[in-house]
Amino acid sequence: MSIAIELPMELESELAGEAAQLGLSLPEYILRVLSTGVVIGARPKTGSELVDYWKDEGLIGTRPDITDSQAHARQIRDRAEQRP
């Protein structure tokens, strides 16, 4: 299906900039935004908003195998430092 829509210039510029950052064409980026339901401009501004966003997206609690996040982060850092 094909739909034509008139966008305000500032919205088109914002979308084009975001598409360029991701290496996508503007139509590809708009399709991605529409298919994921992401609202432009609704980015978390504080740590608390970010945690709420992660909870809403189901990202918190996805790794029940990690019981100590600090120890896990240390292990990742140690492995990265020992890479050749």
Over the stretch 11-52, which tens digit does the pLDDT of each residue have?
999 999 999 988 999 999 999 888 887 655 567 889 999 998
Nearest to 28 by CA among 16, 39, 37, 38: 16
Task: Report yes or no on whether pTM surpasses 0.75.
Answer: no
Quick one: pLDDT at residue 12?
93
Both tokens of residue 80?
A: 């990265």
State phi, psi for 14 to the nearest 5 degrees.
Answer: -60, -45
Closest CA to 27 of 16, 13, 38: 16
Assess whether pLDDT exceeds 60 at residue 71: yes
Longest pairwise C-alpha distance within the chain: 53
Q: Give the residue extent of every domain in the chain.
A: 1-42, 43-84
Task: State yes or no: pLDDT of 7 exceeds 60.
Answer: yes
Instruction: Identify which has the larger pLDDT, 58 or 25.
Output: 25
